[in-house]
Structure 1
Amino acid sequence: MILHLNETLANACGFAGMACIIFAYAYSTHAKAANPFVLHGVNLAGAGLLTVSLLVNLNPASLVLEFFWAAIAIWGLAKAWRARAGA
Protein backbone atom coordinates (compact mmCIF):
# COMPACT_ATOMS: atom_id res chain seq x y z
CA MET A 1 0.00 0.00 0.00
CA ILE A 2 1.58 3.26 -1.16
CA LEU A 3 -1.34 5.55 -0.30
CA HIS A 4 -2.89 5.40 3.18
CA LEU A 5 -6.59 5.34 2.36
CA ASN A 6 -9.47 3.18 3.48
CA GLU A 7 -9.61 0.19 1.11
CA THR A 8 -13.37 0.57 0.63
CA LEU A 9 -12.91 4.21 -0.42
CA ALA A 10 -10.03 3.23 -2.71
CA ASN A 11 -12.22 0.60 -4.37
CA ALA A 12 -15.03 3.14 -4.76
CA CYS A 13 -12.55 5.46 -6.50
CA GLY A 14 -11.54 2.57 -8.77
CA PHE A 15 -15.13 1.80 -9.72
CA ALA A 16 -15.86 5.49 -10.33
CA GLY A 17 -12.77 5.71 -12.54
CA MET A 18 -13.82 2.62 -14.46
CA ALA A 19 -17.28 4.16 -14.97
CA CYS A 20 -15.69 7.36 -16.30
CA ILE A 21 -13.59 5.47 -18.85
CA ILE A 22 -16.53 3.32 -19.97
CA PHE A 23 -18.70 6.45 -20.28
CA ALA A 24 -16.03 8.21 -22.37
CA TYR A 25 -15.72 5.21 -24.69
CA ALA A 26 -19.50 4.92 -25.09
CA TYR A 27 -19.76 8.69 -25.62
CA SER A 28 -17.07 8.68 -28.34
CA THR A 29 -18.78 5.75 -30.05
CA HIS A 30 -22.26 7.25 -29.88
CA ALA A 31 -21.62 10.93 -30.58
CA LYS A 32 -21.49 12.08 -34.18
CA ALA A 33 -18.88 14.69 -33.23
CA ALA A 34 -17.59 14.08 -29.70
CA ASN A 35 -16.58 17.14 -27.71
CA PRO A 36 -12.87 16.56 -27.08
CA PHE A 37 -13.01 18.39 -23.74
CA VAL A 38 -15.69 15.97 -22.49
CA LEU A 39 -14.00 12.91 -23.99
CA HIS A 40 -10.47 13.61 -22.75
CA GLY A 41 -11.57 15.28 -19.52
CA VAL A 42 -13.64 12.28 -18.46
CA ASN A 43 -10.82 9.92 -19.49
CA LEU A 44 -8.37 11.95 -17.40
CA ALA A 45 -10.72 11.88 -14.40
CA GLY A 46 -11.10 8.11 -14.83
CA ALA A 47 -7.36 7.58 -15.00
CA GLY A 48 -6.87 9.72 -11.90
CA LEU A 49 -9.50 7.85 -9.90
CA LEU A 50 -8.14 4.49 -10.97
CA THR A 51 -4.64 5.62 -10.01
CA VAL A 52 -5.88 6.42 -6.49
CA SER A 53 -7.26 2.90 -6.26
CA LEU A 54 -4.05 1.39 -7.66
CA LEU A 55 -1.90 3.25 -5.15
CA VAL A 56 -3.77 1.43 -2.38
CA ASN A 57 -4.16 -1.91 -4.17
CA LEU A 58 -0.84 -1.92 -6.00
CA ASN A 59 -0.80 -3.41 -9.48
CA PRO A 60 2.28 -2.06 -11.29
CA ALA A 61 1.16 -2.97 -14.82
CA SER A 62 -2.21 -1.27 -14.39
CA LEU A 63 -0.53 1.73 -12.78
CA VAL A 64 1.69 2.15 -15.87
CA LEU A 65 -1.38 1.79 -18.09
CA GLU A 66 -3.16 4.57 -16.19
CA PHE A 67 -0.08 6.79 -16.51
CA PHE A 68 -0.23 6.45 -20.30
CA TRP A 69 -4.03 6.79 -20.30
CA ALA A 70 -3.72 10.08 -18.40
CA ALA A 71 -0.85 11.29 -20.61
CA ILE A 72 -2.88 10.67 -23.77
CA ALA A 73 -5.90 12.43 -22.23
CA ILE A 74 -3.74 15.44 -21.31
CA TRP A 75 -2.32 15.47 -24.84
CA GLY A 76 -5.88 15.39 -26.25
CA LEU A 77 -6.97 18.23 -23.97
CA ALA A 78 -3.93 20.33 -24.95
CA LYS A 79 -4.61 19.67 -28.63
CA ALA A 80 -8.28 20.66 -28.21
CA TRP A 81 -7.30 23.77 -26.27
CA ARG A 82 -4.86 24.85 -29.00
CA ALA A 83 -7.48 24.22 -31.70
CA ARG A 84 -10.03 26.26 -29.78
CA ALA A 85 -7.58 29.10 -29.21
CA GLY A 86 -6.69 29.16 -32.92
CA ALA A 87 -10.32 29.28 -34.04
Structure 2
Amino acid sequence: MIGLDWATLVGFVGMGCIIAAYAYLTWNEAPNPFVLHGTNLLGAALLTVSLLVHTNWPSLVLEGFWAAIAIYGLAKAARGRRQGRIERPEA
Protein backbone atom coordinates (compact mmCIF):
# COMPACT_ATOMS: atom_id res chain seq x y z
CA MET A 1 0.00 0.00 0.00
CA ILE A 2 1.84 3.03 -1.25
CA GLY A 3 1.37 6.15 0.87
CA LEU A 4 -0.76 4.49 3.54
CA ASP A 5 1.45 4.80 6.60
CA TRP A 6 0.07 4.96 10.15
CA ALA A 7 -0.46 8.74 10.02
CA THR A 8 -2.49 8.50 6.83
CA LEU A 9 -4.62 5.73 8.30
CA VAL A 10 -5.22 7.83 11.44
CA GLY A 11 -6.26 10.69 9.15
CA PHE A 12 -8.74 8.46 7.35
CA VAL A 13 -10.30 7.46 10.68
CA GLY A 14 -10.57 11.14 11.61
CA MET A 15 -12.18 11.91 8.26
CA GLY A 16 -14.66 9.09 8.88
CA CYS A 17 -15.56 10.59 12.27
CA ILE A 18 -16.30 13.99 10.76
CA ILE A 19 -18.36 12.50 7.94
CA ALA A 20 -20.25 10.31 10.42
CA ALA A 21 -21.00 13.34 12.62
CA TYR A 22 -22.34 15.28 9.64
CA ALA A 23 -24.49 12.32 8.56
CA TYR A 24 -25.76 11.96 12.15
CA LEU A 25 -26.72 15.65 12.19
CA THR A 26 -28.44 15.39 8.82
CA TRP A 27 -30.38 12.17 9.45
CA ASN A 28 -31.36 12.65 13.09
CA GLU A 29 -34.36 14.83 14.01
CA ALA A 30 -32.93 15.66 17.45
CA PRO A 31 -29.19 14.94 17.47
CA ASN A 32 -27.46 14.63 20.82
CA PRO A 33 -24.99 17.54 20.91
CA PHE A 34 -22.49 15.52 22.94
CA VAL A 35 -22.39 12.80 20.26
CA LEU A 36 -22.26 15.35 17.44
CA HIS A 37 -19.57 17.64 18.83
CA GLY A 38 -17.64 14.85 20.53
CA THR A 39 -17.37 12.94 17.26
CA ASN A 40 -16.33 16.12 15.43
CA LEU A 41 -13.69 16.83 18.07
CA LEU A 42 -12.33 13.28 17.84
CA GLY A 43 -12.19 13.56 14.05
CA ALA A 44 -10.38 16.90 14.21
CA ALA A 45 -7.89 15.51 16.73
CA LEU A 46 -7.13 12.46 14.60
CA LEU A 47 -6.76 14.54 11.46
CA THR A 48 -4.47 16.91 13.35
CA VAL A 49 -2.21 13.98 14.30
CA SER A 50 -2.05 12.99 10.65
CA LEU A 51 -1.39 16.57 9.55
CA LEU A 52 1.44 17.01 12.05
CA VAL A 53 3.23 14.16 10.28
CA HIS A 54 2.21 15.13 6.73
CA THR A 55 2.00 18.89 7.12
CA ASN A 56 -0.56 20.74 5.07
CA TRP A 57 -0.89 24.14 6.74
CA PRO A 58 -4.32 25.17 5.42
CA SER A 59 -5.80 21.84 6.49
CA LEU A 60 -4.06 22.00 9.87
CA VAL A 61 -5.51 25.48 10.52
CA LEU A 62 -8.94 24.23 9.41
CA GLU A 63 -8.76 21.37 11.92
CA GLY A 64 -7.84 23.86 14.64
CA PHE A 65 -11.01 25.84 13.92
CA TRP A 66 -13.03 22.62 13.61
CA ALA A 67 -11.82 21.51 17.04
CA ALA A 68 -12.47 24.93 18.59
CA ILE A 69 -16.05 24.95 17.30
CA ALA A 70 -16.59 21.41 18.60
CA ILE A 71 -15.23 22.37 22.02
CA TYR A 72 -17.53 25.40 22.09
CA GLY A 73 -20.47 23.15 21.16
CA LEU A 74 -19.61 20.69 23.93
CA ALA A 75 -19.29 23.51 26.49
CA LYS A 76 -22.60 25.02 25.37
CA ALA A 77 -24.31 21.63 25.63
CA ALA A 78 -22.84 21.07 29.11
CA ARG A 79 -24.08 24.49 30.26
CA GLY A 80 -27.50 23.74 28.79
CA ARG A 81 -27.66 20.39 30.54
CA ARG A 82 -26.73 21.97 33.89
CA GLN A 83 -29.49 24.55 33.37
CA GLY A 84 -31.97 21.84 32.39
CA ARG A 85 -32.33 22.93 28.75
CA ILE A 86 -31.07 19.71 27.20
CA GLU A 87 -32.89 16.47 27.80
CA ARG A 88 -30.80 13.42 28.49
CA PRO A 89 -30.96 10.89 25.67
CA GLU A 90 -32.97 7.79 26.44
CA ALA A 91 -30.98 4.63 26.93
In the alignment, the residues of structure 2 paired with residue 78 and residue 9 of structure 1 have an alpha-carbon distance, to the nearest angstrom, of 31
The structure with the largest helix share of the pair is 1
Tell me the TM-score normalised to structure 1 length: 0.91
Report the CA distance between 1:11 and its aligned residue.
0.6
Tell me the TM-score normalised to structure 2 length: 0.87
Task: Kindly tell me the number of residue pairs found equivalent between the two proteins.
Answer: 81
Between Structure 1 and Structure 2, whose CA radius of gyration is higher?
A: 2
Q: Does 1:8 align with 2:22?
A: no
**Aligned-residue CA RMSD (Å):** 0.8
Q: Gaps (5+ residues) in structure 2? A: 85-91
* Greater RCO (CA < 8 Å, at least 6 residues apart): 1
In the alignment, the residues of structure 1 paired with residue 5 and residue 46 of structure 2 have an alpha-carbon distance, to the nearest angstrom, of 13
Which 4+ stretches in 1 moved above 2 angstroms? none
Identity of aligned residues (%): 65
Report the CA distance between 1:53 and its aligned residue.
0.3
**1:61: which partner in 2?**
58
- Give runs of aligned pairs for residues 1-87 of structure 1, distance below 5 A: 8-87=5-84
